[in-house]
Structure 1
């Protein structure tokens, strides 16, 4: 009779069973406690981990994606050894070898035959000064590039979550926690280069918190975060971080209907050196300027800035850029063009631009897709096509199903309902829209 392994009340024969197979069996019974611990250290939910892994898969040009169901199979031990691309993505998210995440390779896997200490030394040497997770309580006396990388990875995960769900209080608090951790790391011994990068990351987190407030229509809190983010970006001597802050400042001014302030913020971003070096950044700043001019009803200036934005974007080339900038591209420029043209009374052209935006928007930008759909409905309504406009808004609620509507989206739907009542107050379609959606858009 062979040896038996007792786990709880279940017995598993282990005689002649390879060690890797034995460990995989235990993992399926007890779950992956190592991965759970790492997830808790980073402060990520299962959904956030899926988004972070998908970001790494996209960066590696992999077509595969994961969802919460896949993450659950990792956590409960049903998947003991993910496919290679997902293993690499997980190592990128957590900055450690896949075995440290509790995954067990099959016995035939050549990697098992390596000396694990050799692999660990190789991995650690490739990530300078590997340290604790950015959102756990302890920190080391020496701070290195890997600490900054961990902070940036978590910031990218928050950005991806914002793309899916939009701004909310938990996102704001998580971003502020990341900023505090970056500032806390300043207490450690580090080089001036790393210190500047820590200030840059802190500025990014704080700007992320500000953006979450803007999207949630918590405008006064957003202003306080932006003031701090601009200070940190200046201390970091980081012009791309300053662009992020000025971009959010222009958005905040737009929400407050301070359209002159929105133009000034966009022009402040245009004056930075990175705008002259990177056509992608230049395009974004010109598009923001065009939006401000359109709200001031200065059609000539708006269209001139829009042409600058289109020209600059045509010159942009793929290159590594911060996670917060990933939203901008052809699709976003079409979406901004739709707003600008609708403001200038070119409603049919605005409708066409909205369709172009929706056809180009990646599926993971769920919140932006819902906003573009609302803008499409507004341009249809402004052409007098009431029934089509109301039907189009149904797509907004379908897209955001399962998540509360961000405050900015609720406000935009409120604008739609106001214009609907102004343009067609006595139609059955308008009354039906109000009866069906009033509660949903105003309270969710």
Structure 2
């Protein structure tokens, strides 16, 4: 596993340039060669607000300020961005400040050239209120002026939250799941949800739900790896809810991926198959073969544990085909970085071993270990245990014990995660069943007991 940050805008200057470049000619056919309003474009890019979205927000603010429907259109906003209209009407300026929290001049607007106004004529909040009331008649006079909350959360806040996800990804890849990582992930989710109480565009709100879902899935994964399975299920239910609120298919696939692994740990193998199929049905799995490959691979493990040989091999084949079609280097969230040829080989080893083909499984394990990047220390340790299992299933007891012992060196300095302990327990059980009186078995049991105690 490795946790995630969606690819979001990282270079605001590039985004502003992109936004402004489409304004050379407006959608209404008007040539726009005037000085472009980069400050307004920057605010819109930071808060991910479209021209239509800004016009709707301004009209809502005008309704609150004046009691009457505003007439700001998408075309109006394009005129502001292009510099065709450098100084909106007073009511629109008041609405813009209500929406953004910035005075018109900070948004790149330039007052019309005119003789300096006397102090009595200079516009201030009280004068502006009088102006608005005068222009709206009795309805506005009877309506209290309530300004909309200016947006307080933008892309920068989302990017900062996602950076924390990347830190958790690195920690998980090295140490595996543990309570401190789970607490940190839940704290990140809480921070994202707290920002929902602040004013933000609808797109930013969706991104906050997405980040909260990712953090909560990270917490769930940490709980799965630490074998805190019921707690993991609670986290996943919450993460799925938030991913769907965000309409984020990547976050949803991430949830189903961990659900499949949780079901496997709980011996709910039919549920693991169903979770894998749910992952296959997500939009991102249909769009990106890499995600489709992961979903098929999880389904293959579920079928193998259900002793459905043909279905397992078919799913494994689909996973390989999809992986071959995946575009390398495409922008993807960081949590998927663990998945590729090496991880699929490790999963293939699990599937073939479950299907009673330890020779094929051992070959896949060796290939996986040769390919798993060094930074994925926990994954290398798990693949090592799986290799030991394939060896003991071939009755190569001494070699199996030697291989399994490498796990302790790989995890030196850190506690062994619960899921890895459980897999080591499976190895010891199969070792005793295969060669209960062998000296290698007795030596292994003594070492396992010692390492278990030392790494608590």
TM-score (norm 1): 0.69
Q: Which runs of 4+ in 1 moved over 3 A?
A: 124-129
Deviation readout 1:269-301 (Å, 9 max, x if unpaired): 111111111000000000011100000111111
**Equivalent residue for 1:229?**
239
The structural deviation recorded for 1:128 is 3.8
The structural deviation recorded for 1:201 is 0.3
Cα distance in 1 between the residues matched to 2:280 and 2:43: 40
Deviation readout 1:166-192 (Å, 9 max, x if unpaired): 000000000000000000111111111
1:161 aligns with 2:171: yes
**Equivalent residue for 1:265?**
275
Secondary structure of 1:403's counterpart equals: coil
**Equivalent residue for 1:328?**
339
Deviation readout 1:56-110 (Å, 9 max, x if unpaired): 9xx9xxxxxxxxxxxxxxxxxxxxxxxxxxxxxxxx9xxxxxxxxxxxxxxxxxx
**Equivalent residue for 1:311?**
321
Cα distance in 2 between the residues matched to 1:288 and 1:441: 29
Cα distance in 1 between the residues matched to 2:331 and 2:449: 43
Cα distance in 1 between the residues matched to 2:452 and 2:310: 35
Secondary structure of 1:157's counterpart equals: helix
1:251 aligns with 2:261: yes
Cα distance in 1 between the residues matched to 2:414 and 2:238: 29
Give the length in aligned residue pairs: 318
Secondary structure of 1:186's counterpart equals: helix
Cα distance in 1 between the residues matched to 2:169 and 2:44: 26
Trace 1:12-51 onto structure 2 (pairs within 5 A): none
**Equivalent residue for 1:73?**
none
CA contact (8 A) 1:287 1:305 kept: yes
In structure 2, relative to structure 1, the CA distance for the partners of 1:127 and 1:392 (3 Å cut) is farther
Cα distance in 1 between the residues matched to 2:406 and 2:441: 17
Deviation readout 1:346-365 (Å, 9 max, x if unpaired): 10110000011111100000
Cα distance in 2 between the residues matched to 1:125 and 1:194: 13
Cα distance in 2 between the residues matched to 1:411 and 1:179: 29
CA contact (8 A) 2:165 2:215 kept: yes
**Equivalent residue for 1:382?**
393
Cα distance in 2 between the residues matched to 1:424 and 1:408: 24
Trace 1:35-114 onto structure 2 (pairs within 5 A): none
Cα distance in 2 between the residues matched to 1:411 and 1:127: 48
Secondary structure of 2:307's counterpart equals: coil
Cα distance in 2 between the residues matched to 1:385 and 1:145: 56
- One of 443, 449, 454 as aligned partner of 1:432: 443
1:419 aligns with 2:427: no
Secondary structure of 2:197's counterpart equals: coil
Deviation readout 1:394-429 (Å, 9 max, x if unpaired): 211101000000000000000111111100000111
**Equivalent residue for 1:133?**
none
Cα distance in 1 between the residues matched to 2:252 and 2:189: 16
**Equivalent residue for 1:97?**
none
Trace 1:170-209 onto structure 2 (pairs within 5 A): 170-209=180-219
Cα distance in 2 between the residues matched to 1:173 and 1:182: 14
**Equivalent residue for 2:68?**
none
Secondary structure of 1:265's counterpart equals: helix
**Equivalent residue for 2:251?**
241
The structural deviation recorded for 1:367 is 0.2
Cα distance in 1 between the residues matched to 2:446 and 2:280: 45
- One of 275, 278, 298 as aligned partner of 2:285: 275
**Equivalent residue for 1:301?**
311
The structural deviation recorded for 1:126 is 13
**Equivalent residue for 1:111?**
none
CA contact (8 A) 1:215 1:408 kept: yes
The structural deviation recorded for 1:323 is 1.4
CA contact (8 A) 1:413 1:441 kept: no
In structure 2, relative to structure 1, the CA distance for the partners of 1:430 and 1:190 (3 Å cut) is same
Secondary structure of 1:363's counterpart equals: coil
Q: Which has the larger radius of gyration?
A: 2
The alignment yields a C-alpha RMSD, in angstroms, of 2.3
Q: Which moved more, 1:338-347 or 1:318-327?
A: 318-327
Cα distance in 1 between the residues matched to 2:349 and 2:220: 25
Give the gaps of 5 or more residues in structure 2: 11-38, 48-149
**Equivalent residue for 2:51?**
none
CA contact (8 A) 1:127 1:146 kept: no
CA contact (8 A) 2:151 2:201 kept: no
- One of 209, 217, 227 as aligned partner of 2:227: 217
Cα distance in 1 between the residues matched to 2:282 and 2:425: 36
